[in-house]
Chains A and B, each alone.
Chain A
Amino acid sequence: MEYFPALPEQEIKEGQGTLREVAGERLAFFRVAGEIFCIDDTCSHAMASLSSGRVEGRIVTCPLHGGQFDIPTGKPKRLPVTAPVAVHPVEIRDGQVFVGLEEEDDEDY
Chain B
Amino acid sequence: MSKPEITGVEEYQYGFHDRDVSVFNTGKGLRPEVVEAISKMKGEPDWMREFRLRSLEIFLEKPMPNFGGNLSDLNFEDITYYRRPSDQKGRTWEDVPTEIKDTFEKLGIPEAERKFLAGVSAQYDSEVVYHNIRKDLEDMGIVFLDTDSALREFPELFREYFGTIVPPEDNKFAALNSAVWSGGSFIYVPKGVEAKVPLQAYFRINASQMGQFERTLIIVDEDAMVHYVEGCTAPIYSESSLHSAVVEIVVKKNARCRYTTIQNWAPNVYNLVTKRAVAHEHATMEWIDGNIGSQLTMKYPSVYMVGEGAHAHVLSIAVAGRGQHQDAGAKAVHLAPNTTSTIISKSISRAGGRTTYRGLVHFGENVQGSKAKVNCDTLIFDDGSKADTIPVNEVLDNRVTMEHEATVSKVSEEQLFYLKSRGLTEEEATRMIVMGFIEPFTKELPMEYAVEMNRLIKLEMVGSVG
Q: Among A62, A63, A78, A82, point to the contact of B164 (Cβ < 8 A).
A: A78
Which residues in chain B, 332-370, are within 8 Å of chain A measured between CB atoms? Answer: 333, 335, 364-365
Stretch at the interface among A24-32, A64-72, A92-100: A64-72
In-complex Cβ contact of B171 among A62, A65, A68, A82 (8 A): A65
Question: Is B169 an interface position by the 8 A CB rule?
Answer: yes
Encoded as 1 (CB less than 8 Å from any B CB) or 0, chain A from 82 to 105 comes to 110000000000000000000000
* Most A CB within 10 A of own CB, among B167, B278, B304, B365: B167
> Measured between C-beta atoms, what is the minimum distance from B414 to chain A in Å?
46
B interface: dominant SS: loop
Q: A79-B276, A82-B364, A83-B365 are in contact. Are A61 and B164 (CB under 8 A)?
A: no
A65 to B168, CA, bound (A): 8
Query: What is the minimal beta-carbon distance from A49 to any residue of chain B, in angstroms?
Result: 13
**Which of B169, B171, B276, B365 has the most chain A CB within a 10 Å cutoff?**
B169
Cβ-based interface call for B153 (8 A): no
Q: A66 and B169: CB pair below 8 A?
A: yes
| Docked complex Cα distance between A66 and B246 (Å) | 15
- Report the bound CA distance from A64 to B169 in whole Å: 6
Chain A residue with the shortest CB-CB distance to B248: A79
Tally of contacts, chain A with chain B, CB under 8 A: 33
Q: Are A65 and B304 in contact (CB under 8 A)?
A: no
Instruction: Give residues 230-275 of B contacting A (CB, 8 Å).
Output: none
Contact indicator A82/B304 (Cβ below 8 Å): yes
Asked if A78 and B364 make an inter-chain contact with CB atoms under 8 angstroms apart, the answer reads no
Cβ of B165 within 8 Å of any chain A Cβ, yes or no, is yes
Shortest CB-to-CB span from B369 to chain A, Å, is 18
Interface size class of A (residues with CB under 8 A): 10 to 19
B170 at the interface (CB under 8 A from A): yes
Least CB distance from B400 to A in Å reads 15
The size class of the interface chain B forms with chain A is 10 to 19
Whether A80 is near chain B, meaning CB under 8 Å from some CB there, is yes
Task: Give Cα A62–Cα B168 distance, bound, in whole angstroms.
Answer: 11
B168–A66 CB distance below 8 A: yes
Interchain CA distance A83-B169 in the complex, whole Å: 18
CA distance A64 to B168 in the complex (A): 10
Contact of A65 among B170, B333, B335, B364 (CB under 8 A): B170
Interface string of A32-67 (1 = CB under 8 A from B): 000000000000000000000000000001111111
CA distance in complex: A32, B408 (Å): 55
A89 CB to closest chain B CB, in angstroms?
23
Q: Min CB distance, A33 to chain B, in Å?
A: 23
Partner pick for A82 among B167, B169, B170, B335, CB 8 A cutoff: B335
Q: Which residues of A contact B335 (CB under 8 A)?
A: 82
Closest to A53 in B: B169
B299-323 interface code vs A (CB 8 A; 1 in, 0 out): 0000010100000000000000000
Q: Which residues of B contact A65 (CB under 8 A)?
A: 167, 169-171
Contacts of B170 in A (CB 8 A): 65-66, 80
- Using CB atoms, name the residue of chain B closest to A82: B335
- The answer on a CB contact under 8 Å between B365 and A79 is no
Complex: A53 Cα to B166 Cα, angstroms: 17
Q: List 10 A-B contacts (CB under 8 A).
A: A63-B169, A65-B167, A66-B167, A66-B170, A78-B164, A79-B164, A79-B165, A79-B167, A79-B276, A79-B304
A residues neighboring B (CB under 8 Å): 61-68, 78-80, 82-83
